[in-house]
């Protein structure tokens, strides 16, 4: 008899899909579909979830393994859990005793965002005082930038999109990376005749479907935002009453905006003056509007500046938080209780995730525990990182569901269960609906959860703190129950879908208690009080390399079923002619950090002087794309600068 289960996808994605999973009489998953009863999912899901019935059984780490031979290698010998854990604890204890907890690195990210898998399982490492990263690879700089002006970085709720009369996707290819928000925006178009505007240097899938596509040069979005703001101000299209009641610093902001004449903006951004005017008039006439700011948009040298500049446009026309970036700060889940930081007296050392590679190469960490992450693809400056992982005096443990590019650098590989093999709960970073994701099938092979591994290591280390062993669902109750708007934690356990409480849109925990168009105390914070534009200097004959996601992959996941991320690069036809390239030529893309070989696609989807390749892929020789990205961080927030990578290109 076929059974239906409900699961919630915990991958690093905007949508946090609610899913229906069918399991046949043999206990095999046969299909995964979107839940039609869910406000956001509405029966839709992405190409990735659809392939989960295949991926869950493909390329799995099923048993503990110990390395045979020098790192990196694919030669592993199966062992028992007891032997693996005893060996790990032996090395961990020696490092703690000889070098101290700061020489232990917990390296994790968002491969599974379930609270038990990714947060509660931090308790051991926080008790030990192990070094952890700042999780700066992705969205941190945008969060920090928005917080300067709004106090917290949350914005509008995706469920409100169908009410909008204008939806602007700024640096956000939602048709690929947020299928459900794109669908809700199209509802706004049907219901309210809301124009869909896409602002992106590249002709993405979203740009192709938009009513209006505006194409600024990479890194010039601050100028474009100021151009829109200036038009609103000089044509008296702003909401003066709102600005007076809810903002501070307008006169200083106005002074900066007035410098950005249409001619100046056009000369820097490449956007026509009439397009700047069109966008500004849409903002003034089509209210309420939603400005959807992409996370990938801020992965550049001026990413944080761009995010904060764009976010201020809705305030000028009288909208409380009329933008969306990520809504994690809208919710009040007690993460510090869940991860154990409420119980420890020390603050574990933190290192930059973006610039981690050189620290690893220098041997600053003698024991590295990796889970929920594939760092041998995702960290910049891969040559340095892989050299560090390969050191004889660096002991690497990987707890992973699948064999990845990182496992060859492990001394021990431990099998983990996928989200379909355990109960958990994920907090969305877009919408506010939560439900327990049910275990659909038993753990495959000898897979064990992150919670089980944490507790087994703690026992072998002789740790006795009671909070370390608190039953995980009791800890979840304490952390989550005060954050629930509808229902109780018992209702969650009974399978209900509940809503999280959200901070009010008009709540601005800034020093002034208002939207700060001119940031209070900016000098002490080490930032400009208003967003600033600095041109990205590209030497003659070189290129800006952009990268973004493909719909079939969640970062490096799903290559097991869809094949490798294509090793291709898009080149504008004029650049191709200059370099005497033809479609399909193998090209060398290189800079001072490294080089990769890709197959050329001649396309005007990118502007002249700009290249595009899928993110987190590898080249034709399996060399990671991140071999040519640097460890440089943004001034605000310390996040990555992937989309400011300068490269040269030549026929191989």
Cβ atoms of residues 622 and 404 within 8 Å = no
Per-residue pLDDT tens digits for 211-220: 999 999 999 9
Average pLDDT of the segment spanning 336-365? 97
The one-character DSSP state at 438 is P
Cα separation, 555 vs 551, in Å, equals 10
User: Which of 639, 608, 598, 612 is CA-nearest to residue 545?
Assistant: 612
| CATH architecture entry for 65-133+334-417+449-465 | 3-Layer(aba) Sandwich (3.40)
User: Which of 295, 294, 296, 292 is CA-nearest to residue 324?
Assistant: 292
- Give the containing element (helix H, strand E) for 22: strand 18-23
- The domain 543-651 is classified under which CATH number: 2.60.120.460, 2.40.40.20, 1.10.10.10, 3.40.50.970? 2.40.40.20
The one-character DSSP state at 194 is P
Which structure tokens are listed for 491?
A: 């209702």
Cβ atoms of residues 622 and 344 within 8 Å = no
- The answer for residues whose C-beta is within 8 angstroms of residue 537's C-beta and 6 or more apart is none
User: Which of 614, 633, 555 is CA-nearest to residue 110?
Assistant: 555
In this structure, which long-range contacts are made by residues 90-97, counting pairs with CB atoms below 8 Å and at least 24 apart in sequence?
91/367, 91/395, 91/411, 92/367, 92/395, 92/457, 92/461, 93/461, 95/366, 95/367, 95/395, 96/128
User: What's the length of the chain?
Assistant: 652
The pLDDT value given to residue 381: 97
| CATH architecture entry for 3-55 | 2-Layer Sandwich (3.30)
Per-residue pLDDT tens digits for 77-98: 999 999 999 999 999 999 999 9
The pLDDT value given to residue 429: 94
Residue 145 has pLDDT above 80, yes or no: yes
The one-character DSSP state at 29 is E
- pLDDT band at 576, cuts 50/70/90? very high
Cα separation, 401 vs 420, in Å, equals 11
Per-residue pLDDT tens digits for 476-497: 999 999 999 999 999 999 999 9
- pLDDT band at 535, cuts 50/70/90? confident
- Give the containing element (helix H, strand E) for 243: helix 240-246
Which structure tokens are listed for 328?
A: 């994690």
The pLDDT value given to residue 569: 98
The pLDDT value given to residue 40: 92
Per-residue pLDDT tens digits for 414-451: 999 999 999 999 999 999 999 999 999 999 999 999 99
Domain boundaries, the chain: 3-55, 65-133+334-417+449-465, 140-328+506-525, 543-651
Per-residue pLDDT tens digits for 96-118: 999 999 999 999 999 999 999 99
Per-residue pLDDT tens digits for 292-306: 999 999 999 999 999
- pLDDT band at 617, cuts 50/70/90? very high
In this structure, which long-range contacts are made by residues 232-236, counting pairs with CB atoms below 8 Å and at least 24 apart in sequence?
232/280, 232/283, 232/284, 232/313, 232/316, 232/317, 233/257, 233/258, 233/316, 234/258, 235/280, 235/284
Handedness of CA 121, 124, 129, 131 (dihedral sign): negative
Pairing of strands 76-78, 65-67: antiparallel
Classify domain 140-328+506-525 at the CATH superfamily level: Dimethylsulfoxide Reductase, domain 2 (3.40.228.10)
Query: At which residue do the structure tokens 């969640």 appear?
Result: 554
Cβ atoms of residues 518 and 252 within 8 Å = yes
Query: At which residue do the structure tokens 């390395």 appear?
Result: 67
The reported pTM is 0.97
The pLDDT value given to residue 536: 77
Three-state secondary structure string covering 443-478: CCCCCECHHHHHHHHHHHCCCCCHHHHCCHHHHHHH
The pLDDT value given to residue 366: 98
Which structure tokens are listed for 570?
A: 């898009």
Cβ atoms of residues 171 and 199 within 8 Å = yes
- pLDDT band at 1, cuts 50/70/90? confident
Cβ atoms of residues 649 and 642 within 8 Å = no
Chain-wide mean pLDDT for the chain?
97
Cβ atoms of residues 617 and 566 within 8 Å = yes
Cite the DSSP H helix spans in 258-381.
262-269, 273-285, 303-316, 335-338, 356-361, 375-378
Per-residue pLDDT tens digits for 14-37: 999 999 999 999 999 999 999 999
Residue 468 has pLDDT above 80, yes or no: yes
The pLDDT value given to residue 152: 98
The pLDDT value given to residue 465: 97
- The answer for residues whose C-beta is within 8 angstroms of residue 290's C-beta and 6 or more apart is 156, 160, 161, 164, 166, 167, 168, 185, 188, 322, 323, 324
Residue 597 has pLDDT above 90, yes or no: yes
User: Which of 378, 323, 301, 328 is CA-nearest to residue 549?
Assistant: 378
Average pLDDT of the segment spanning 591-599? 97
The pLDDT value given to residue 476: 98
Per-residue pLDDT tens digits for 368-423: 999 999 999 999 999 999 999 999 999 999 999 999 999 999 999 999 999 999 99
Residue 459 has pLDDT above 80, yes or no: yes
Average pLDDT of the segment spanning 320-340? 98
Per-residue pLDDT tens digits for 504-529: 999 999 999 999 999 999 999 999 99
Domain 3-55 identical in fold to domain 140-328+506-525: no
């Amino acid at each position: 008899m076929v059974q239906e289960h409900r699961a919630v996808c915990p991958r690093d994605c905007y949508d946090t899909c609610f899913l229906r999973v069918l399991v046949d009489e043999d206990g095999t998953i046969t299909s995964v579909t979107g839940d039609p009863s869910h406000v956001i999912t509405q029966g839709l899901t992405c190409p990735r979830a659809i392939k989960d019935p295949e991926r869950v059984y493909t390329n799995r780490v099923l048993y503990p393994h110990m390395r045979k031979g020098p790192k990196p290698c694919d030669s592993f010998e199966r062992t028992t859990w007891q032997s693996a854990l005893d060996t790990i604890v032996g090395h961990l204890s020696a490092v703690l005793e000889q070098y101290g907890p700061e020489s232990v690195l917990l390296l994790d990210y968002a491969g599974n965002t379930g609270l038990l898998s990714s947060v509660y399982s931090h308790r051991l490492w926080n008790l030990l005082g192990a070094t952890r990263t700042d999780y700066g690879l992705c969205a941190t700089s945008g969060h920090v930038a928005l917080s300067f002006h709004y106090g917290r970085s949350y914005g509008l709720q995706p469920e409100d999109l169908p009410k909008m009369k204008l939806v602007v996707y700024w640096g956000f290819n939602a048709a690929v990376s947020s299928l459900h928000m794109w669908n809700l925006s199209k509802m706004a178009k049907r219901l309210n005749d809301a124009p869909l505007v896409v602002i992106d240097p590249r002709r993405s899938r979203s740009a192709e479907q938009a009513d209006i596509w505006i194409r600024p040069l990479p890194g010039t979005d601050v100028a474009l935002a100021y151009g829109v703001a200036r038009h609103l101000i000089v044509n008296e299209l702003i909401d003066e009453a709102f600005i007076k009641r809810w903002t501070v610093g307008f006169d200083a902001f106005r002074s900066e905006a007035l410098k950005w004449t249409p001619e100046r903006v056009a000369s820097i951004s490449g956007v026509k003056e009439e397009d700047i005017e069109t966008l500004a008039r849409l903002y003034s006439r089509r209210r309420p509007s939603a400005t959807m700011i992409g996370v990938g948009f801020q992965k550049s040298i001026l990413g944080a500046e761009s995010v904060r500049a764009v976010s201020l446009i809705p305030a000028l026309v009288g909208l409380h938080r009329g933008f969306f970036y990520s809504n994690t700060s809208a919710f009040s889940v007690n993460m510090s209780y869940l991860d154990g930081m409420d119980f420890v007296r020390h603050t574990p050392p933190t290192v930059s995730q973006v610039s981690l590679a050189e620290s690893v190469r220098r041997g600053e960490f003698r024991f590295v525990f990796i889970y929920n992450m594939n760092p041998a693809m995702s960290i910049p400056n891969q040559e340095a990182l892989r050299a560090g992982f390969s050191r004889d005096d660096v002991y690497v443990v990987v707890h992973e569901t699948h064999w990845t590019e990182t496992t060859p650098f492990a001394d021990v590989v431990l099998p983990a269960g996928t989200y379909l093999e355990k109960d958990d709960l994920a907090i969305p970073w877009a919408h506010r609906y939560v439900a327990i994701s049910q275990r659909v099938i038993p753990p495959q092979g000898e897979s064990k959860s992150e919670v089980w591994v944490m507790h087994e290591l703690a026992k072998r280390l002789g740790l006795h703190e009671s909070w370390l062993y608190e039953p995980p669902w009791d800890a979840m109750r304490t952390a989550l129950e005060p954050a629930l708007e509808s229902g109780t934690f018992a209702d969650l356990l009974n399978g209900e879908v509940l809503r999280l409480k959200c901070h009010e849109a008009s709540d601005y925990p800034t020093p002034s208690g208002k939207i700060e168009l001119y940031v209070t105390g900016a000098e002490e914070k080490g930032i400009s009080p208003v967003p600033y534009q600095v041109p990205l200097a590209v030497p003659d004959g070189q290129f800006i390399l952009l990268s973004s996601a493909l719909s079939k992959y969640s970062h490096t996941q799903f290559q097991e079923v869809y094949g490798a991320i294509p090793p291709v690069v898009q080149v504008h036809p004029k650049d191709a002619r200059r370099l005497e390239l033809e479609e399909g030529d193998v090209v060398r893309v290189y800079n001072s950090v490294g080089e990769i070989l890709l197959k050329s696609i001649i396309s005007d989807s990118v502007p002249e002087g700009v290249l595009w390749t899928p993110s987190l892929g590898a080249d034709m020789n399996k060399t990671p794309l991140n071999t040519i990205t640097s460890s440089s961080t943004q001034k605000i927030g310390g996040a990555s600068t992937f989309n400011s990578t300068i490269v040269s290109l030549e026929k191989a």
